[in-house]
Structure 1
């Protein structure tokens, strides 16, 4: 049996790497966890993504609340002190960082934390800082990096991405141009508009959030426009004429120019594949991604990927899902395939857009029969009281020949939607009947009562059919003579 230095080597100490290494250490394996610098521990989520962006959104929401209160007599003026805003963001990061440092991980999980550039130098070998390590299994949790624009003239412009916003942006942009129409673009657009910037969002597609239902995306878009964000669909930058001016193109035609003080680019992410020694370890790449199978294996069966390195759902909880599957496979003779049957994601704008289970496109691709239910919040009592009657709940229900329908997936657009869909996701995971919610008693008037509304409507339709009503009348009169 080979004389390995470790039981497991994990490269990358972000969400994927921390989960992979932490579990290995928790069960007593000798695990090496490697990242480039101590500051990189915690990965994109802690340093540049989920944590700082949600802290920024939290502060921005307070500004929005104050402005909304002016209709009831509150007086407000001015913009955010951006230095103080960023101080708050960094303070919240530091609280979480305390539990993701090399010293803490070594003490808590017994991990062998190494700092330096890791390179695969063999099929089961990694070299870091001139030191050779080996293990029967290696996990690549090497993450991804933001894509940048290659537009003519872009070399004149400072491109802020989600990383640079939280490390190099030191003043509140006066006129902010954001390129992209996905979750990150929408969150940044709303946050900076609320803090006092004038935001223009350029989207090359026909609508925002193309991975979510159009009905939900439309609700968010209207909110952004109402708050003052200028949104231009099917529009791209043709060229940058100087550091603060861009020529735009729409439908193939030049569509004027736009001036801006700052530029944020949110046009997706790409997997890190360079400087890792992949070819030395027999790990193939294709079209900028690491070649992997449904079991997280690379073309070298001793090396796996999790998190953004896997090249699919690039979320922190995506990495958590990958680790759950992968550790099942590493510990069990029955392998678990990658699946999005019970996955979910949230865009943390106001309103939130929360999607779970299969999307409508995935259902169509799989040829699955389903019923689409669209539930308005227009007459929901909590929505009326809290002024979000424009919310919407979309459900995809199975169409069984016999028995009750089950939840295949869905989406909600509403304040706190990410929390409110959790019971729906649980039904989806448990493969339970959607009608299970029919007799649940919710505290009135919690927002999640909306989840029950379609179930009760369906039950009432069955209950109040002419035949059923006649039977129920007869049963009542028989029991109450």
Structure 2
């Protein structure tokens, strides 16, 4: 039975599932195992809730909401509404961010976990053997364990960078107390683009630097181009194709000799699994060269008693995958199941416009000779009414007309993606979407229009078109004979 939470912290006993880490994967995994009747002990060294609550999803989306309000006020004139002056009080913006965290925090708190039957210990856990661990000197024996210790922001080996004490996605929320006049963001991935655009919209002078030739290198090139144009419209100086060479005296030097002065430097170039002090070698848990824990399709490690989920297993670093994987790993561990993770993983970059993708990208689909159905949002009525027609929706179809991928660029694109992720996962065809009644007008109309385009093209193709014409003529003759018989 699940623990009531009344057991003394010093008496750990033998637990069915030891969970190392109190972020999304650990919390979901622990609650799943407790609900299944397992005795669960969760150990967290800092605070439950993890990156998502404290330094990731919640604060960043709260900041983006404030930035969007400022941007909407500035562009209101295009809709006939004049806002003479937009003033940003950064202290109140930060208060809004903290309030959002405070509102959500109880859902991830130790008290809520204990109420769900999970024992919680504050401390640092280290694996000491295949079925043992130590928590600040306390010995713990486990039947199974779940590693969910997350990841840390990477600092690239740029000379002088560490000495400049740069901000990261973890430290920016506490250390940046005033809106900087000049902010340099090193990294043009999702985090760099989101935060760079947000601070620019709030009034900072922002430069985004990336050594790649385009922003959001993991997305379709057309989507990257739309986002780059949007950032530039918001005043961001986007510098691409140049590596950072050094940092000194408040300046970032690029490989071509260009120097960019800054008041604050934010590094967003990736993450590394947090496993260095975990004791993986003593437990027989293999790590890859980049530090991540190696798992199979069921999230089991090289130690058959230990599973891992979330950022500690490497990319993709998404809260939604961490939660789902935490649940799968925990149920596999305590019930002896062999459930595998779903390979259909949706992703969203929350810039303005958003970029939402799932499955095969348009670029890869084109290279593989698959069918692409693209609808530009200039033809979407809801986009026209809101004077926001930048963006597009593209469906990627296989030879059986099944939807195998989709990319949506536009407002609230992430909301549209759920339907498309389900379509990819269930092997739905374009005709399935076209035959489903959707509300009008929405940005989702682009999905329906793209599906209808495919249906119409199929109806116009050989031999479908001649067969349809023959069917229409046959129907007409029958009606004529019935009329003559009267």
Q: TM-score by structure 1 length? A: 0.91
* Root mean square deviation of aligned Cα: 2.2
Aligned partner of 2:385 in structure 1 is: 385
The answer (yes or no) to whether the contact 2:200–2:236 under 8 Å persists in 1 is yes
Runs ≥4 in structure 1, deviation > 4 angstroms?
A: 331-334, 360-364
- Residue deviations 1:6-54 (CA, integer Å, cap 9, x gap): 11100000011001001111222110000003xx200000000000000
Question: Could you tell me how far apart the structure 2 residues matched to 1:382 and 1:202 are?
Answer: 34
Structure 1: 5+ residue runs without aligned partners?
none
**Structure 1 residue 239 corresponds to structure 2 residue 235:** no
Question: Could you tell me how far apart the structure 2 residues matched to 1:73 and 1:10 are?
Answer: 53
After the TM superposition, which of the residue ranges 432-441 and 161-170 deviates more from structure 2?
Answer: 432-441
The answer (yes or no) to whether the contact 1:215–1:392 under 8 Å persists in 2 is no
Aligned partner of 1:63 in structure 2 is: 70
**Structure 1 residue 153 corresponds to structure 2 residue 160:** yes
Aligned partner of 2:444 in structure 1 is: 448
Aligned pair partner of 2:282 in 242, 256, 280:
280
Question: Could you tell me how far apart the structure 2 residues matched to 1:441 and 1:343 are?
Answer: 25
Aligned partner of 1:408 in structure 2 is: 404
Question: Could you tell me how far apart the structure 1 residues matched to 2:363 and 2:300 are?
Answer: 27
The answer (yes or no) to whether the contact 1:373–1:395 under 8 Å persists in 2 is yes
2:170 is paired with a residue whose SS is: helix
Aligned partner of 1:458 in structure 2 is: 454
1:99 is paired with a residue whose SS is: helix
Aligned partner of 1:42 in structure 2 is: 49
Q: CA deviation at 1:79?
A: 4.3
Q: CA deviation at 1:346?
A: 0.5
**Structure 1 residue 75 corresponds to structure 2 residue 83:** yes
Question: Could you tell me how far apart the structure 1 residues matched to 2:23 and 2:337 are?
Answer: 28
Question: Could you tell me how far apart the structure 2 residues matched to 1:362 and 1:460 are?
Answer: 24
**Structure 1 residue 194 corresponds to structure 2 residue 194:** no
Aligned partner of 1:134 in structure 2 is: 141
Q: How do residues 255-404 of structure 1 correspond to structure 2 at under 5 angstroms? A: 255-287=257-289, 288-327=291-330, 329-330=332-333, 335-340=338-343, 342-359=344-361, 370-400=370-400
Question: Could you tell me how far apart the structure 2 residues matched to 1:30 and 1:111 are?
Answer: 7
Question: Could you tell me how far apart the structure 1 residues matched to 2:477 and 2:452 are?
Answer: 25
Question: Compared with structure 1, are the counterparts of its residues 337 and 28 closer, same or farther at alpha carbon in structure 2 (3 Å cutoff)?
Answer: closer
**Structure 1 residue 6 corresponds to structure 2 residue 10:** no
Aligned pair partner of 1:223 in 210, 230, 252:
230
Q: CA deviation at 1:443?
A: 2.7
Aligned partner of 1:16 in structure 2 is: 25
Aligned pair partner of 1:423 in 416, 419, 425:
419
The answer (yes or no) to whether the contact 1:369–1:399 under 8 Å persists in 2 is no
- Residue deviations 1:375-426 (CA, integer Å, cap 9, x gap): 22222222221223221112211113xxxx1111111001011001221222
Question: Could you tell me how far apart the structure 2 residues matched to 1:163 and 1:181 are?
Answer: 17
Q: TM-score by structure 2 length? A: 0.90
Aligned partner of 2:5 in structure 1 is: none
Question: Compared with structure 1, are the counterparts of its residues 471 and 194 closer, same or farther at alpha carbon in structure 2 (3 Å cutoff)?
Answer: same
Question: Could you tell me how far apart the structure 2 residues matched to 1:373 and 1:101 are?
Answer: 45
Q: CA deviation at 1:206?
A: 0.9
Structure 2: 5+ residue runs without aligned partners?
1-11
2:15 is paired with a residue whose SS is: coil
Aligned partner of 2:211 in structure 1 is: 204
Q: CA deviation at 1:111?
A: 0.9
